[in-house]
Chains A and B, each alone.
Chain A
Amino acid sequence: MIPAPPAPSQFDEPWQAQIFALTLALSEAGHFTWPDWTQALGAALKERGANRPLDGGQDYFAAWLAALETLLARRGLALPAEVEATRAAWERAYLSTPHGQPVNLAAG
C-alpha cells in the first residue's frame, strides 16, 4: 500500500465530513443509488446558486445538507417533523449539559 502523507482535513468543519460519510453509508446500504444522490445534490446546488454564485465551500455543504434532507423526506426515511424534533432535542441536551461533560440525547 502507498504510504499516506499527513494531510490536512479536506473538510472545513467536522459536520461536513460527518454528512459526507453519512450519505455514502446510506447509499452503500442501498437506500438510494449514487446517481439519485447526484441528481438531488445537483438540484439543490442549482436552486441555491440561482441568486448568487456558490463558492464551493460552506455553501456547498449547506446545499448537500438540504439535498440529503429532501431526499430522505421524499423516501420517507426521515421526515421533516422528526428531524426538527430531534434537532431540538439535541439543542436542549447541549444547553442542559454542564460544560466539559459528554452530551447525550437522554439529557435533553
Chain B
Amino acid sequence: MPHDHSDHDHPHSLLPSDPALRVKALETILTAKGLVDPAAVEAILETYEKKVGPHLGAAVVARAWADRAFRARLLADANAAMAEMGISGRQGEHVVAVENRPGQHNMVVCTLCSCYPWPLLGIPPAWYKSDAYRARAVREPRKVLAEFGVTLPGDTAVRVWDSTAEVRYLVLPERPAGTEGWSEEQLRALVSRDSMIGTGLARTPEAGA
C-alpha cells in the first residue's frame, strides 16, 4: 500500500476504513465463538485470489469445441464434465451450460444479486453486479449487447438466463471459423470471459491468439 501522507509522521498504525474494521470485528467474533475456522477462510481467499478465474471456463469451452463427446457431456451434465477436468464448485452449485448456435444467442444475468459460475469464471466483474445490467439484461438484451459491441443478425433469438443460488449458467460460445485443427491450448486463447457470460463472442483467429 503506498503511503501518501508524507506531510506528517505516523505515531500509530494507519486506521483501516470503517468496512474493513467491521469485517475484522466479524472475523474476531466468529472465530472466538468457533463458528468459522480462520484457516478455512484463508484457504478460500487463496483459491479465489490465485487459482480460480475465467481461464478455467476457457479450458472447458476449448475442450467442448475440440471434443464432440465432451461437448455432449457438458451440455447434458456440466458438473460431471467439469469434474473430469478437476473443476468443482464449493457450494454444490449446479452449473448448466447453454449453447450458442446459429439463430440462438444466450446471455446470463442474476436479477436477484450476483449469482455466477464462480468455479469457472471467478469473481464477477463490477458491471455484472450493477443495478443497470441486472435490470436491463432482461428488459432490453439487444441494446445491452450493442453496448458491449455485439451485434447479432436480426433473425438470431436472444435468450436471457437468470441465475439463482442453485443454478449458474455458462454460455458455450460458437467456435470461430478458421480454427479447424487448432489445439485446445490454442483455442483457449479465443475464449474471453464475456463470451462465457454472453455479453461477448469468442475472439476470431485474427483478433485472438
Contacts of A57 in B (CB 8 A): 126, 129
A residues 7-22 in Cβ contact with B at 8 Å:
7, 9-11, 13-15, 17-22
Q: Give B4-43 as 1s and 0s: 1 = Cβ < 8 Å from A's Cβ atoms.
A: 0000001111111101111111111110010111001110
> Could you tell me the distance in whole angstroms from the C-beta of B57 to the nearest C-beta in chain A?
10
Contacts of A37 in B (CB 8 A): 165
Assess the B16–A15 pair: CB atoms within 8 A.
yes
Contacts of B130 in A (CB 8 A): 53-56, 60
**Set B19, B56, B90, B125: member contacting A61, Cβ < 8 A:** B19
Assess the A42–B28 pair: CB atoms within 8 A.
no
Evaluate whether A26 and B30 lie within 8 angstroms (CB atoms) in the complex, with A17-B48, A96-B12 already known: yes
Assess the B30–A97 pair: CB atoms within 8 A.
no
Evaluate whether A17 and B16 lie within 8 angstroms (CB atoms) in the complex, with A22-B27, A69-B22, A77-B33 already known: no
Assess the B55–A105 pair: CB atoms within 8 A.
no
Assess the A53–B28 pair: CB atoms within 8 A.
no
Considering the chains assembled together, what is the distance between the CA atoms of A85 and B23 in angstroms?
A: 13
B115 contacts the other chain (CB 8 A): yes
Assess the B114–A27 pair: CB atoms within 8 A.
no
Contacts of B124 in A (CB 8 A): 10
Assess the A21–B165 pair: CB atoms within 8 A.
no
Assess the A42–B113 pair: CB atoms within 8 A.
yes
**Smallest Cβ-Cβ distance to B9: which chain A residue:** A99
Assess the B114–A13 pair: CB atoms within 8 A.
no
**Smallest Cβ-Cβ distance to A86: which chain B residue:** B25
**Set B10, B23, B93, B133: member contacting A22, Cβ < 8 A:** B23
Assess the B22–A10 pair: CB atoms within 8 A.
no
Considering the chains assembled together, what is the distance between the CA atoms of A27 and B92 in angstroms?
A: 11
Q: Give A1-42 as 1s and 0s: 1 = Cβ < 8 Å from B's Cβ atoms.
A: 111110101110111011111101111110101110111011
Contacts of B19 in A (CB 8 A): 15, 61-62, 65
Considering the chains assembled together, what is the distance between the CA atoms of A39 and B44 in angstroms?
A: 22
Assess the A69–B26 pair: CB atoms within 8 A.
yes
**Set A3, A27, A38, A77: member contacting B113, Cβ < 8 A:** A38
Evaluate whether A87 and B22 lie within 8 angstroms (CB atoms) in the complex, with A97-B12, A101-B13 already known: yes
Q: List 14 interface pairs A-B (beta carbons < 8 Å), by A numbering.
A: A10-B125, A15-B16, A21-B41, A29-B40, A45-B113, A62-B19, A86-B25, A89-B25, A90-B21, A97-B13, A98-B11, A98-B12, A99-B11, A103-B13
Question: Which residues of A pack against B, CB within 8 Å?
Answer: 1-5, 7, 9-11, 13-15, 17-22, 24-29, 31, 33-35, 37-39, 41-42, 45, 49, 53-57, 60-62, 65, 68-69, 72, 77-78, 82-84, 86-87, 89-91, 94-101, 103, 105
